[in-house]
Amino acid sequence: MNELTKKRTKALLIDTAISTAVSFAIEPLLKRKTKNSFIYTVVSPTVIFWGLEYAQMRLKGQTVGHKMMGIEVQNEAGGEPTPEQILERIVHRDTVGPFVYLKDRAHYDAYEGEKFPHDLYSYTVVKEVN
């Protein structure tokens, strides 16, 4: 595993930890508002994770995890990703992306961590920043 891939993994774990903490904080409120446990065990954590990532990417261009690891998501031209690219990237990463990656891992290893299936799908790239 190359260095950029390690940084991406650590950034995702940091962002997941933050999102989990927010989900745990909100869960008691949701339990009082809804009787359906599916909402606060499946829907809420996903919406919170995606929402936090989208908001951070739109406002600052990086998530907390990205900033801590010194990486940044860019469009293929080197600029900020569009709102559509951010959404495509998030949804693809958390749905079909892992299956696509496992199907042809060697193909993605050639990008040395800069691109995974969700990056190719959304026309984004991850770069190290100083």
Specify the pLDDT at position 111: 94
Tokens encoding 42: 């499946």
Specify the pLDDT at position 130: 73
User: For 102-115, how does the pLDDT look when each residue is reduced to its tens digit (9 = 90+)?
Assistant: 999 999 999 999 99
Over residues 77-83, mean pLDDT: 96
Residue 34 in this model has a pLDDT that exceeds 90:
no
Q: Are 123 and 85 in contact (CB under 8 A)?
A: yes
Residue 27 in this model has a pLDDT that exceeds 90:
no
Mean pLDDT for the chain overall: 94
